[in-house]
Amino acid sequence: MSKGKKKLTKGQLRRVRDNRDKRLSKRKDPEWDNDALGPQIKGRIISRFGQHADVETMAGEVFRCNLRRTVGSIVVGDEVEWRQGNEAMAGISGIVEAVHPRRSELRRPDFYDGLKVVAANIDQILIVSAVVPELSAQIIDRYLVAAEDTEIPPVLVLNKTDLLDEQGLALVETILAPYRAIGYPIYLVSSETGEGVDALKACLKDKINIFVGQSGVGKSSLINALMPEVDLVVGEVSENSGLGTHTTTTAKLLRFPSGGDLIDSPGVREFALWHLPAERIAWGFKEFREYLGGCKFRDCKHGDDPGCALRGAVEQGEISAQRFDNYHRILESMNSDRPTRHFVDPLNDK
């Protein structure tokens, strides 16, 4: 929450929430009469806004639908059962009746609900970094921990390789070596020259993907290279990039011509570490898992504690010192970030 803005008291927050719930409970089903509806068919939510959603059929046709009051939360990526009306009413072509269980959920902090699901059924999180503005292992680790928490497999993408000479490339390989060693897939690409883009296309195929990463690493440029007809706004690397370039706020599911889907929105791109307790952060370093619980003291902070199994593994060269160091840096920054980063406040947002 930025300085100088009023924070709501708990009572005020409760009233705002109650009013919203009242509004939602007054929501009416449209006057679809069962005879006016076709059979139930399967579809995927490609965009969700207010009380409507766009549903794409298996054949790739898109229908704007209402949502039955009985269906729970519906987000982009959800697989649903819906029925088409015999004729469209006020631009609405059908109604969503049921949601299939989700394979995965992407959540972000929400003012009302703590954590709110923003997208479902994502198969893969592409963590994009670049040699410009900087290649930071600590930033990669922050994204990896957040991705591991969702249990959606992450993939590392290093963009702007055209800016590297031989020496630069060797340095990059040194930074990336610990990630290769623990089995994360890594793609070196240049959206500018197209180098590595075909290999990346193959990795995205048949999956629902999201691209995350800091502003300026070239997410829009990469998506444009993979999906030329979408034409996302590409900004210069600057202090402000990422703040004003995009106008859409709802997440949308788009299809790569070479196969696979992309869910994108500023909200999805802001995917980050928000709220994890220390034990979950340690678990997010996947190679630490087999050592967790093996320390001499049950409440071991994996610092200078005697008999620390993690430190032992670092000394034996089984865990990378770079990763272990980043684990501690993330813990320290989480402790200082926590009070201000817990909620996104829509009343103070924009």
Detail the residues annotated as belonging to a binding site for Zn(2+).
295, 300, 302, 308
Query: Which x/- pattern, by CB under 6 A, does the window 252-281 give for ligand GTP?
Result: -----------------x------------
| Residues contacting ligand GTP: total by CB under 6 A | 22
The residue type of 146 is A
SS3 assignment, position 156: strand
Asked if 192 touches ligand GTP (CB under 6 A), the answer is yes
Which structure tokens are listed for 188? Answer: 């070196």
How many Cα atoms sit within 13 Å of 31 on the Cβ side? 2
Pairing of the two strands 124-130 and 208-212 = parallel
Asked if 313 touches Zn ion (CB under 5 A), the answer is no
Q: Is 66 or 191 the residue whose CB approaches ligand GTP more closely?
A: 191
47, 93, 124, 191: which one binds ligand GTP (CB under 6 A): 191
48, 83, 142, 160: which one binds ligand GTP (CB under 6 A): 160
Q: Is 163 or 347 the residue whose CB approaches ligand GTP more closely?
A: 163
Q: Which does 218 bind (CB under 5 to 8 A by kind): ligand GTP, Zn ion, none?
A: ligand GTP
Asked if 84 touches ligand GTP (CB under 6 A), the answer is no
Count other C-beta atoms under 10 Å from residue 128's C-beta. Answer: 25
- How far is it, in rounded angstroms, from Cα 82 to Cα 95? 6
5-26 per-residue burial string, b: 16 or more CB within 10 A, e: under 16: eeeeeeeebeeeeeeeeeeeee
Q: Which stretch binds ligand GTP (CB under 6 A): 56-64, 88-96, 104-112, 235-243?
A: 235-243
Cβ atoms of 222 and 211 closer than 8 Å: yes
Q: How far is the CB of 62 from ligand GTP (least distance, A)?
A: 26
Rounded to the nearest 5°, which phi and psi values hold at 343? -120, 150
Asked if 235 touches ligand GTP (CB under 6 A), the answer is yes
Q: Which does 159 bind (CB under 5 to 8 A by kind): ligand GTP, Zn ion, none?
A: ligand GTP
- How far is it, in rounded angstroms, from Cα 261 to Cα 210? 9
51, 57, 138, 241: which one binds ligand GTP (CB under 6 A): 241
- How far is it, in rounded angstroms, from Cα 237 to Cα 217? 8
Cβ neighbours of residue 264 closer than 8 Å, sequence gap 6 or more = 210, 211, 223, 232, 251, 252, 254
Q: How far is the CB of 250 from ligand GTP (least distance, A)?
A: 17
Within the chain, what is the greatest distance between any pair of CA atoms? 72
Residues at the binding site for GTP are 159-162, 213-221
Cβ neighbours of residue 322 closer than 8 Å, sequence gap 6 or more = 137, 175, 178
43, 178, 216, 284: which one binds ligand GTP (CB under 6 A): 216
Q: Is 152 or 217 the residue whose CB approaches ligand GTP more closely?
A: 217
**Which residue in 280, 311, 309, 314 sits closest to 292, CA to CA?**
309
Q: How far is the CB of 321 from Zn ion (least distance, A)?
A: 15
Q: How far is the CB of 316 from Zn ion (least distance, A)?
A: 14
Residue 125's H or E segment, with its range, is strand 124-130
Q: How far is the CB of 178 from ligand GTP (least distance, A)?
A: 24
Asked if 308 touches Zn ion (CB under 5 A), the answer is yes
Query: Which residues of the shown chain bind ligand GTP in the complex (CB under 6 A)?
Result: 159-160, 162-163, 190-192, 215-221, 234-237, 241-242, 245, 269
Binding site for Zn ion (CB under 5 A): 295, 300, 302, 308, 310
